[in-house]
Chains A and B, each alone.
Chain A
């Protein structure tokens, strides 16, 4: 979903740029509380993994493709604030080094792929983890559903931005329908990749998954209680 230069007009791009600067600034503060001995060494690796996986466009229907955005994945693994930072670094490197995503559109792309997908992906996963039974095995499916929802959410934000500052006079209903339709399909891929990646880390070191901490703490309490009874 890398927006190139020219899709959105200058005022809209400046506004999204300002929002992105504020969001990254807030994330830099928030990340301090998340970054401990477990998340800190993992964060760089998660960003590198998101970059690598974003290169892998998978075919969606006829003639189009999609790739991971990674906001939900990063948020679940290292926490939402750190997740915003990880995906922002990926987007900045992609734009400056690989000419992928416009330079004037960098704020827009951070808003869509680093902020929207992290916020929506984290919120949905978190609510599911809280509602579901406290089992480590349910963290990966919760993350997958959060990831799935985050993609059409980002597509909706793009459509809203285009309604405000799009540079071509096109039907907004056509745009909204097409963006939501295709990105719901792409979201399925986002969900599958997130499920596999989170599941893989959970299977070897569940304690490294930020979103699983509450679940593990509760499970350990139950185990301790059972041992105390026995």
Chain B
């Protein structure tokens, strides 16, 4: 804090860092995640309403359940699904933000 004009880390390095960490977490570390039911699923089982859950409409999708259809190796199947999901979320959320920003805010549009 003493020297205020510390050289700033360029944004692209921060962005790269977040992207690499996210891809590693989804692609590699996710294999080691707990397979236990999550809090809601566990409580639903204990209190007796878990059987009310109905089949998911997209349950036959190629990435359903965080696995890649046609890839037998569990590590690869889950890792690939994680990487694809991370990239899809990055593109969709990033694209949405671009669209929101592109709308004119300075002129008559501001209601």
A residues whose Cβ falls under 8 Å from a Cβ of B: 1-7, 28, 31-33, 35, 40-53, 55-60, 63-67, 82, 85-86, 89-90, 92-100, 102-103, 155, 158, 166-168, 170-171, 174-175, 178-179, 182-183, 186, 201, 204-205, 207-208, 220, 223
Complex: A89 Cα to B90 Cα, angstroms:
9
20 contacts between A and B (CB under 8 A): A7-B49, A31-B97, A32-B103, A44-B95, A46-B18, A48-B18, A48-B89, A52-B22, A55-B26, A64-B42, A65-B42, A89-B89, A93-B85, A98-B64, A103-B57, A179-B43, A204-B9, A205-B8, A205-B9, A220-B4
- Interface SS of chain A: helix, strand, loop or mixed? helix
Least CB distance, B40 to chain A, in whole angstroms: 5
Chain A, residue nearest B85 (CB): A51
Asked whether, in the complex, the Cβ of B93 is within 8 Å of the Cβ of A48, the reply is yes
Least CB distance, A23 to chain B, in whole angstroms: 15
Complex: A22 Cα to B95 Cα, angstroms:
21
Chain A, residue nearest B111 (CB): A29
Chain B, residue nearest A86 (CB): B93
Q: B107 contacts the other chain (Cβ, under 8 Å)?
A: no
Residues of chain B within 8 A (CB-CB) of A58 are: 33-34
Q: A47-B89, A51-B89, A85-B93 are in contact. Are A170 and B21 (CB under 8 A)?
A: no
Complex: A7 Cα to B54 Cα, angstroms:
8
Asked whether, in the complex, the Cβ of A167 is within 8 Å of the Cβ of B52, the reply is yes
